[in-house]
Amino acid sequence: MSKITHNLPSEDMVFVNRQHLVNEVLETISHHRFWMIILWGMGGVGKTSLALHVSYQCLQRKYFDAIIWTTAKSYELGARGFKQTYERKQDRVVLTLNDLFNTILRVLGEHQSIRLETNKKQARVVELLSTNKILVIIDNLDMIPDQQAAEIVKFVRYSIPTQSSTAILTSRYEIANRGEYAFEITGLDIQASIELMRQSARQVGFDVIMNADTQILEAIHYATGGIPLAIKWVLGRMRRSKRSVYDVLDELVKNESDVLEYCFKQAYWNVSRDARLVLQAISPAEKPLDSSQLTNLTGLRDYQILDAVEDLLPMSLLEKDKLGRFKLHPLTKAFARLELAKNVDYEREVLRKYNSMTV
Ligand SMILES: Nc1ncnc2c1ncn2[C@@H]1O[C@H](COP(=O)(O)OP(=O)(O)OP(=O)(O)O)[C@@H](O)[C@H]1O
Ligand SMILES: [Mg+2]
């Protein structure tokens, strides 16, 4: 039996399985219903880990002849701040369509085609993807500059008329067209969060968490909203600094918190000014708000609120409940509240309106 060619990075030791989601993605892949699968959701929610887990499942089940992992991310956030990943050294980093072609060709052992001029190279890549069963992962598309990202998406979307190959894209932003398969990834539920904490603690022998009351673990879950990156950061920070859980949870949501910057800064500055004002205005709310309350709080007009909401939803900055009311994820709320506080006059005005609205 021939071996499946791949360049997958190794999986983290601890992976809390999101069985339902994993099964759904695997089913979509195995039925070849869509050539392009998009996993999207806020920063640190676990898109890359899920894509990697699914890729290993595909490897095990021999769904493909080759699996090619590419990513635009070359750094990660740990308890001691940002650090470089090994991705660049491993030639997995892709920032342009040409990088993508080169990585595909390299992993498939077609080194001679790397020197071809662009059109011929593209034709060769398309041929390879059409005549072989190949899984291509493009991870962290959100880190690729807009124009290059658009070129990559266009290639994936239109240039590959194939039944055999599949692409998985991960992104902080919703990029699916109608008819494409997109899964929104949200925070872990409370059981999964606690399992992640217990397993991670056991892994490194961190007895404070191993022996902690469930109440403490629940407090970490609620503060982080089940975002694995934030949970791991809190645990790492507690272990290194030997500070109490409540001190570390304070640090998590303070100004210039690494986690908040990492998860939100880019998305926040990518939306319109009105969208930022809506986000700030909603941040002190204890309960979900409807659009007329947002109009009142922000002083914007109805259509401006609609536009702002349309801007925020696909950036995973805003959540909509079943009744069509809006709320924020706990970490987004913390980030937006700090932004509101920087906007002194607006903050005063917004808080005054909250008092009179009693929301
Ligand atoms: N299901 C999971 N079980 C255990 N750990 C997880 C899980 N999902 C994510 N993590 C951990 O949380 C951290 C962030 O996860 P990951 O990089 O997959 O998130 P992401 O959504 O891709 O983030 P970004 O938006 O920055 O790309 C990583 O350290 C990862 O190992
Ligand atoms: Mg990622």
pLDDT tens profile 147-189: 999 999 999 988 876 678 999 999 999 988 776 789 999 999 9
Average pLDDT over residues 107-116: 96
Domain's final residue, options 260, 294, 311: 260
Q: Is there a single domain that holds both residue 339 and residue 281?
A: yes
- Which residue from 10, 20, 22, 49 has its CB within 8 A of the most atoms of ligand 1, so it is best to mutate? 49
- For residue 262, the ligand 1 atom closest to its alpha carbon is 26
Q: How far apart are CA 351 and CA 348, in angstroms?
A: 5
Q: How far apart are CA 101 and CA 79, in angstroms?
A: 35
Number of domains in the chain: 3
Q: Would you say the CB of residue 14 lies under 6 angstroms from ligand 1?
A: yes
Q: Separation of 356 CA from ligand 2 center, angstroms?
A: 42
Give the range of the structural domain holding residue 334, as residue numbers without chain letter: 271-357
Ligand 1, atom 8: closest residue by C-alpha: 46
Domain with 276 in it: what CATH number?
Answer: 1.10.10.10
The model's confidence at residue 64, banded by pLDDT at 50, 70 and 90, is: very high
Ligand 1, atom 9: closest residue by C-alpha: 46
In this structure, is residue 266 part of a structural domain?
A: no
The model's pLDDT over 28-38, given as tens digits with 9 standing for 90+, comes to: 999 877 889 99
Q: How far apart are CA 99 and CA 93, in angstroms?
A: 8
> Which of 5, 7, 37, 6 lies closest to 22, judged by CA?
37
| Predicted pLDDT at 83 | 75
Q: How far apart are CA 139 and CA 50, in angstroms?
A: 11
Q: Is there a single domain that holds both residue 232 and residue 350?
A: no
Q: Would you say the CB of residue 16 lies under 6 angstroms from ligand 1?
A: yes
Domain with 31 in it: what CATH number?
Answer: 3.40.50.300
- For residue 231, the ligand 1 atom closest to its alpha carbon is 12
Reading the block at residue 60, the tokens are 């095990």
Q: Is there a single domain that holds both residue 136 and residue 244?
A: no
Domain's final residue, options 122, 152, 184: 184
Q: Would you say the CB of residue 187 lies under 6 angstroms from ligand 1?
A: no
Give the number of other CB atoms < 10 A from CB of residue 171. 25
Q: Is there a single domain that holds both residue 325 and residue 282?
A: yes
Q: How far apart are CA 196 and CA 190, in angstroms?
A: 10
Strand intervals (E) in 103-152: 134-139
DSSP 288: -
Q: Is there a single domain that holds both residue 36 and residue 173?
A: yes
- Which residue from 229, 266, 329 has its CB within 8 A of the most atoms of ligand 1, so it is best to mutate? 229
Q: Is there a single domain that holds both residue 285 and residue 217?
A: no
| Predicted pLDDT at 75 | 74
Q: How many helices (H) and strands (E) does the chain have?
A: 16, 10
| Predicted pLDDT at 90 | 64
- 347-357 CB burial, b ≥16 within 10 A, e <16: beebeebbeee
Average pLDDT over residues 328-350: 97
In this structure, is residue 265 part of a structural domain?
A: no
Tell me the H-state helices in 142-257. Answer: 146-158, 190-204, 207-210, 214-224, 228-241, 245-252
Reading the block at residue 123, the tokens are 């034709």
The model's pLDDT over 192-230, given as tens digits with 9 standing for 90+, comes to: 999 999 999 999 999 999 999 999 999 999 999 999 999
Angle of the 97-107 helix axis to the 118-131 helix axis, nearest 10 = 50
List the end-to-end C-alpha distance of the chain, in Å, as a whole number: 65
Is the confidence at residue 87, as pLDDT, over 80?
Answer: no
**Phi–psi pair at 299, nearest 5 degrees:** 75, 10
Domain's final residue, options 260, 282, 310: 260
In this structure, is residue 176 part of a structural domain?
A: yes
Picking from 28-32, 86-90, 199-203, 293-297, which range would have the lowest pLDDT averaged per residue?
86-90
> Which of 99, 263, 76, 71 lies closest to 169, judged by CA?
71
The model's confidence at residue 84, banded by pLDDT at 50, 70 and 90, is: confident
Q: Is there a single domain that holds both residue 196 and residue 281?
A: no
The model's confidence at residue 267, banded by pLDDT at 50, 70 and 90, is: very high
| Predicted pLDDT at 88 | 59
> Which of 254, 198, 240, 204 lies closest to 221, judged by CA?
198
Q: Would you say the CB of residue 47 lies under 6 angstroms from ligand 1?
A: yes
Q: How far apart are CA 243 and CA 52, in angstroms?
A: 33
In this structure, is residue 44 part of a structural domain?
A: yes
Reading the block at residue 232, the tokens are 């791991």
> Which of 32, 12, 28 lies closest to 20, judged by CA?
28
Q: Separation of 180 CA from ligand 1 center, angstroms?
A: 24
Q: Separation of 185 CA from ligand 2 center, angstroms?
A: 11
Average pLDDT over residues 12-40: 90
Average pLDDT over residues 259-286: 96
Q: How far apart are CA 71 and CA 94, in angstroms?
A: 6
Share of the chain above pLDDT 70, in %: 96
Q: Is there a single domain that holds both residue 253 and residue 299?
A: no
In this structure, is residue 67 part of a structural domain?
A: yes
In this structure, is residue 208 part of a structural domain?
A: yes
Q: Is there a single domain that holds both residue 124 and residue 254?
A: no
Q: Separation of 15 CA from ligand 1 center, angstroms?
A: 9
| Predicted pLDDT at 359 | 47
Q: Is there a single domain that holds both residue 58 and residue 207?
A: no
Q: Is there a single domain that holds both residue 217 and residue 93?
A: no
Instruction: Identify the H or E element spanning 352.
Output: helix 344-357
Is the confidence at residue 309, as pLDDT, over 70?
Answer: yes
Average pLDDT over residues 48-77: 93
| Predicted pLDDT at 357 | 80
Q: Is there a single domain that holds both residue 34 and residue 148?
A: yes
Ligand 1, atom 28: closest residue by C-alpha: 229
